[in-house]
Chains A and B, each alone.
Chain A
Amino acid sequence: MTGRGLVVVLPYLWLLLFFVVPFAIVLKISFSDVDLAIPPYKPLWEWTGKNALAIKVNFNNYVFLFTDSLYIKALLNSLKVAFFSSLLCLIIGYPMAYGIARARPALRNVLLLLVILPFWTSLLLRVYAWIGLLKANGVINNVLIWLGIIHEPLTMLYTPFAMYVGIVYSYLPFLILPLYANLEKMDWQLLEAAEDLGCRPWQAFYKITLPLSRNGMLAGSMLVFIPAVGEFVIPALLGGPNALMIGRVLWDEFFSNRAWPVASAVAILLLILLVPFMMWYQSVQSNESAGSK
């Protein structure tokens, strides 16, 4: 083996074994029957008698997913929530990323640090913080009542609103950082050139900055959208019992119902849905790094 091969062989095999092979197993189990055993599924093939191999593939799990409207609803709802969360992140995050990229260098590093800090702090604890803010006798309601704006506490916790707040809040740094990295490379003289050629500032922004930051926006939105589709913690803590998200359905099938084959089928379905987005993300990433060289 060459020296190069020796460098990459270890991570390569590791990811192959612990990241790629598992998906094959998930696929296999998604075709098995549920069983009251440990592990709770029937083997896909069995030696019956002497040399006969019986393979029992069944599509029941998939059929089940499409007949019980719960799964499709959860899937569609997850896509919707993830899409609007990405959009909200973009709306809040773009001005922040832009502002940081254009700040004075000393200030820029401080602001960047302030964006990164929450990202290093446990997601679970930050989501938990919103319970304290949003609940009936939580901080927000208390403040609003004290200000006399409302008299009865608002119901915010365990609503879709809470879930959106939680997702946008948690994933905002994931959008800001790649977008900032993109904007930071921008040559601001382009804007001056555009204004010199007769663009008003907003037009220059719209015609120069926005198209040039397209890859940053796409990469950031993907980093929000893809994991948000399968998000479990936030809907579980903020969304209340009715928050129908596919990640949560998978979790419940697995842990509460011990229906491993169904959970596997859900995972495969979700994966098929997300793979195109992942490939898109990867191509955007490689464009971006090719452009920076």
Chain B
Amino acid sequence: MNDRRSFFMITCIAFGFAFLYIPILSMMVFSFNASKLVTVWDSANSPTLKWYYSLLSNEEILDAAWISLKVAVINASGSVILGTLAGFGLARFARFRGRFTLNAMVTAPLVMPEVITGLSLLLLFVALEQTIGWPAGRGITTMTIGHMTFSMAYVCVVVQSRLATFDTALEEAAMDLGARPPKVFFVITLPIIFPAILSGWLLAFTLSWDDLVISSFTSGPGSSTLPMVVFSKVRLGVSPEINVLATLTVAAVTLIIVGVSLWMARSARAEKLAA
């Protein structure tokens, strides 16, 4: 690449990353600001951790976070099972009845506007309650079902694309040595694609933890999730506690993502060397 071109590229990338990161950084900086006005730096009393204490003693937010955590963990675990099955089927079985439909049903939730998914799920739950009496009312169960429906699609994509680069000779070799297909899956395929499944789990967890729209449609009284509480607060304007929440979220995400990426890069290297 010549110098002029690379200068242009570097400018573009720098601008792009500035665009992506300045809002996040500004939230982090102002989370230490003492002023309730949030964006006006109160240099006399800042930096301070006062909003951190205030957030961590906010019952409403803590309750909502607890509900979000429960939903996210159940959702992630369920989505990983459903998504891995679907991804495995689509990647490994060249043709089976319903393959086209399954493929379409897995792709659509990725792009479907959330308001539509949310509304349709709610109407389903209402109709089910009217006809068979289940689910009685809405709450954590209905929300989790809703989240799983779109999270599993993401897991499926992750698993499918990992399996696309998986050397099928490994599975054939195991079968050749006498392992039946289910055994092959659990002893060979699963351990090798485990990093992808782990990132699918994390992805599903995050999607659920962050979801506002589908939760709003499918939650019931007393089961407000963290994003729902944040949304109602933010609608009233900026609040220093939200900055703190954002900072903590970014810190946690960064730690986990960087950690997992390093670990995955290491195991990918090992596999490449073996191939």
Residue contact B206 to A120, C-beta cutoff 8 Å: yes
Of all chain B residues, the one with the shortest Cβ separation from A113 is B261
Chain A interface extent, by class: 35 or more
Known: A26-B120, A125-B246, A132-B30. A120 touches B257 (CB 8 A): yes
**1/0 per residue A1-38: CB within 8 Å of B?**
00111011011101110111111011001000000000
A227 nearest CB across to chain B (Å): 6
- Contact segment of A46-54, A55-63, A65-73, A137-145: A137-145
Chain B interface extent, by class: 35 or more
> Whole-angstrom distance between the alpha carbons of A223 and B157 in the complex?
14
> Whole-angstrom distance between the alpha carbons of A142 and B37 in the complex?
13
Is B187 close to A, CB under 8 A? no
> Whole-angstrom distance between the alpha carbons of A4 and B98 in the complex?
11
**1/0 per residue B1-26: CB within 8 Å of A?**
11001001110110111011111101
Known: A131-B234, A263-B119. A233 touches B164 (CB 8 A): no
Within 8 A of A (CB), among B218-242: 227, 230-231, 234-235, 237-238, 242
Between B113, B116, B145, B237, the greatest number of chain A beta carbons within 10 A of the residue's beta carbon is seen for B113
Is A150 close to B, CB under 8 A? no
A29 nearest CB across to chain B (Å): 6
Is A96 close to B, CB under 8 A? yes
Of all chain A residues, the one with the shortest Cβ separation from B181 is A3
Within 8 A of B (CB), among A200-256: 201, 222-223, 226-227, 229-233, 236-237, 247, 250-251, 254-255
Known: A14-B152, A109-B261. A281 touches B89 (CB 8 A): no
From the candidates A11, A92, A282, A285, name the one contacting B102 in the complex (CB within 8 A): A11
- Chain B residues with CB below 8 A from A227, complex form: 111-114
Within 8 A of B (CB), among A125-157: 125-126, 128-133, 135, 137-139, 142
Residue contact A29 to B12, C-beta cutoff 8 Å: no
Residue contact A25 to B127, C-beta cutoff 8 Å: yes
- Chain B residues with CB below 8 A from A25, complex form: 120, 123-124, 127
Is B253 close to A, CB under 8 A? yes
Is B82 close to A, CB under 8 A? yes
From the candidates A100, A250, A270, name the one contacting B13 in the complex (CB within 8 A): A100
Residue contact B105 to A124, C-beta cutoff 8 Å: no
Residue contact A23 to B181, C-beta cutoff 8 Å: no
Secondary structure type dominating chain A contacts: helix
Is A116 close to B, CB under 8 A? yes
Within 8 A of B (CB), among A238-293: 247, 250-251, 254-255, 260, 263-264, 267, 270-271, 274, 277-278, 281-282, 285-286, 289, 292-293
Is A122 close to B, CB under 8 A? yes
Residue contact B102 to A247, C-beta cutoff 8 Å: no
A95 nearest CB across to chain B (Å): 3
Q: Could you count the A-B residue pairs with CB atoms below 8 Å apart for me: how many are there?
A: 263
- Chain B residues with CB below 8 A from A21, complex form: 124
From the candidates B85, B130, B212, name the one contacting A233 in the complex (CB within 8 A): B212
Secondary structure type dominating chain B contacts: helix
Residue contact B82 to A126, C-beta cutoff 8 Å: no
A164 nearest CB across to chain B (Å): 12
- Chain A residues with CB below 8 A from B127, complex form: 25
From the candidates B114, B119, B245, name the one contacting A264 in the complex (CB within 8 A): B119
- Chain A residues with CB below 8 A from B265, complex form: 109
- Chain A residues with CB below 8 A from B230, complex form: 124-125, 128
Between A4, A113, A173, the greatest number of chain B beta carbons within 10 A of the residue's beta carbon is seen for A4
Residue contact B23 to A133, C-beta cutoff 8 Å: yes
From the candidates A7, A121, A277, A285, name the one contacting B88 in the complex (CB within 8 A): A7
A158 nearest CB across to chain B (Å): 11
Is B51 close to A, CB under 8 A? no
Known: A15-B105, A120-B253. A226 touches B26 (CB 8 A): no
> Whole-angstrom distance between the alpha carbons of A292 and B16 in the complex?
28
Is A169 close to B, CB under 8 A? yes
Of all chain B residues, the one with the shortest Cβ separation from A131 is B238
Residue contact B20 to A115, C-beta cutoff 8 Å: yes
Residue contact A169 to B19, C-beta cutoff 8 Å: yes
Within 8 A of A (CB), among B16-53: 16-17, 19-24, 26-27, 30, 37-40
List 15 A-B pairs, Cβ < 8 Å: A7-B89, A8-B93, A92-B15, A99-B13, A113-B261, A120-B202, A122-B209, A128-B246, A129-B24, A132-B243, A139-B26, A237-B235, A250-B119, A282-B104, A285-B107
Residues of chain B at the chain A interface (Cβ within 8 Å)? 1-2, 5, 8-10, 12-13, 15-17, 19-24, 26-27, 30, 37-40, 81-83, 85-86, 88-90, 93, 96, 98, 101-117, 119-121, 123-124, 126-127, 130, 145-146, 148-149, 152, 156, 161, 164, 181-182, 202-203, 206, 209-210, 212-213, 216-217, 227, 230-231, 234-235, 237-238, 242-243, 245-246, 249-250, 253-254, 257-258, 261, 265
A sample of 6 more A-B contacts (CB under 8 A), given A122-B249, A132-B23, is A99-B10, A121-B24, A129-B246, A133-B23, A264-B119, A274-B111
**6 shortest A-B CB distances, which residue pairs?**
A230-B113, A22-B120, A95-B12, A129-B23, A11-B86, A8-B89
